[in-house]
């Protein structure tokens, strides 16, 4: 809420209608302490100007990580200023500025996908379960079993997932049956998605700031919108991509409102929010063994990170 005072200055008042972590909503916090926390977070957000990815795809770095061929995704964590890379059964933590490895966290089975939400790590492995971990404890190198908050029942073939409104939407890739699952953020309880359009063979999902869901999968990209009755409705679906095996991952860049998807032929295809294709890129150095997997963008620096089997490419 903003208003003008007697000196024609703008006064910005922060009202926390829906606290997103216990730090603010803790009963021990006074109103003044909660206000200070909110103001600090606003300062953190305003400290950095958003920088769109240029679409020039100028390679500035390549992180070669052993001989492993299971680097599917990476994530950026500003809370700890690290770049986190999934490598086979490990998460590798790199300093975000120097890109030098800080430490490694090992898991029991191969990591399929993970995402970081402030101080929470959500991760799926080859055992097809979704798990929520306390990232702060992981960064403090505590025992992994002590970092686990909850785990889901075993799914059929879990791929990507994304967080929206304290819910985790999970792509459960399968030929038949339900494909989009939803879990409660706090408890991990399965939530019934009533009347949600059935999309088969889905691989990845993301959301915009406008209550829009974008889902990619086997040879399709779809946009769904959330209606007033809290139901997701299919708005548009794009098919007939060049790659016969479809799309692997998806990233929504808030500052530009662009959607980036990767496919089996190492192409990165860019769409606007209405799913109009606006750009395509294919690395001239790619080969049959260097598929394009996870893509994400640091919207403070404008760098793009592309996972490609045994290496991670950094573009600007």
Q: Does residue 121 belong to any structural domain of this protein?
A: no
Give 23's pLDDT tier (boundaries 50, 70, 90).
very low
CA angle 308–311–316, rounded 5-degree value: 80
Q: 41 — alpha (psi -120 to 50), left (phi > 0) or beta?
A: alpha
- Tell whether 7 and 77 lie within a shared domain: no
Residue found under tokens 């494909």? 179
What pLDDT, in 10s, does the model give residues 199-245? 888 999 999 999 999 999 888 999 999 998 888 999 999 987 776 56
Beta bridge partners of 258: 253, 272
Give 18's pLDDT tier (boundaries 50, 70, 90).
very low
User: What residues contact 90, with CB distance under 8 A and at least 6 apart?
Assistant: 104, 105, 106, 107, 111
Q: Does residue 100 belong to any structural domain of this protein?
A: no
Q: 275 exposed, middle or buried (CB, 10 Å; 0-12, 13-18, 19+)?
A: middle
- Tell whether 31 and 162 lie within a shared domain: no
Q: How many domains does the chain have?
A: 2
How far from each other are the two terminal CA atoms of the chain, in whole angstroms? 36
CATH code at position 157 = 2.120.10.30
Q: Does residue 304 belong to any structural domain of this protein?
A: yes
What pLDDT, in 10s, does the model give residues 238-253? 987 776 567 889 999 9
Containing 118, the helix (H) or strand (E) segment is: none
Containing 22, the helix (H) or strand (E) segment is: helix 22-25
Q: Does residue 106 belong to any structural domain of this protein?
A: no
Q: Does residue 265 belong to any structural domain of this protein?
A: yes
Alpha carbon distance 279, 203 (integer Å): 21
């Amino acid at each position: 809420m903003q208003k003008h005072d007697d000196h024609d200055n703008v006064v910005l008042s922060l009202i926390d209608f829906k606290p997103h972590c216990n730090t603010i909503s803790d009963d021990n916090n006074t109103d003044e302490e909660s206000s200070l926390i909110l103001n600090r977070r606003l300062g953190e957000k305003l400290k950095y100007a958003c920088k769109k990815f240029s679409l020039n795809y100028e390679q500035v770095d390549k992180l070669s990580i052993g001989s492993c061929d299971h680097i599917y995704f990476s994530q950026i964590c500003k809370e700890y200023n690290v770049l986190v890379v999934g490598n086979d059964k490990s998460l590798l933590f790199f300093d975000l500025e120097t890109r030098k490895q800080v430490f490694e966290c090992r898991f029991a089975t191969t990591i399929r996908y993970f995402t970081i939400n402030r101080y929470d790590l959500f991760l799926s492995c080859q055992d097809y379960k979704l798990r929520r971990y306390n990232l702060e404890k992981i960064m403090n190198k505590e025992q992994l079993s002590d970092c686990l908050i909850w785990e889901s029942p075993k799914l059929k073939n879990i791929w990507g997932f994304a967080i929206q409104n304290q819910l985790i939407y999970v792509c459960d890739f399968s030929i038949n049956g339900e494909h989009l699952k939803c879990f409660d953020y706090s408890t991990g309880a399965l939530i019934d998605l009533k009347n949600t359009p059935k999309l088969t063979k889905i691989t990845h999902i993301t959301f915009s700031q406008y209550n829009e869901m974008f889902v990619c999968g086997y040879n399709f990209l779809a946009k769904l919108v959330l209606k007033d009755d809290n139901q997701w409705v299919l708005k548009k679906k794009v098919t007939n991509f060049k790659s016969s095996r479809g799309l692997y991952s998806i990233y929504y860049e808030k500052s530009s409102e662009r959607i980036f998807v990767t496919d089996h032929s190492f192409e990165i295809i860019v769409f606007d929010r209405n799913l109009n294709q606006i750009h395509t890129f294919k690395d001239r150095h790619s080969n049959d063994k260097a598929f394009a997997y996870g893509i994400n963008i640091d919207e403070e620096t404008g760098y793009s990170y592309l996972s490609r089997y045994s290496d991670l490419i950094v573009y600007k």
